[in-house]
Amino acid sequence: MAGEGGIAALRVDLVEIKHSAAICMKGLSPMEAFGALKIPKATGWGLVDRCSQEVSLVINWIDGPSDGHRIPRFDPAAVAEFKARFTHLARIAEQHVLQIKEVIRRLKRCGMRPAVAWAEIRVDFYGSVI
């Protein structure tokens, strides 16, 4: 813009920025992926690339223009597959209109054990065959 100096002189078209970002940023951001799974950020990062573990989220890294800058992205199909295969107490409670304590009681009564425990990633994940 005329009369402005430095960064204040720049104006960007948000539609153009979103379009350009969509071309090079395939997949979901961490917040979109973790939001789709309804899990906290720390839990989501705890699930990322858990080597040799069945309960794991695969992440794709996009290399930025400068060395050392990488952008994390998740394949929407992989997130959907994870959501179909695994669930957690809050999702079970929501689906069956129960309190979490009641879900815990019922799971214990049935002898159900989590596929990955709270102590590892701060959420108990169960196989979705429940």
Longest dimension (CA), the chain: 72
Query: pTM of whole model > 0.85?
Result: no
Give the Cβ contact number of residue 44 at 10 Å: 22
Strand partners for 125: 88, 116
| Extents of the domains making up the chain | 6-127
CA dist 99 and 90 (Å) reads 9
Per-position pLDDT tens, the chain of length 130: 677 778 878 888 888 877 776 666 789 999 999 999 999 999 999 999 776 677 889 899 888 777 778 889 999 999 999 999 999 999 999 999 999 999 999 999 999 999 888 888 888 889 876 4
Q: End-to-end distance of the chain based on CA atoms, in angstroms?
A: 60
- 63 Cβ neighbours under 8 A, 6+ residues apart: 69, 70
CA dist 53 and 50 (Å) reads 5
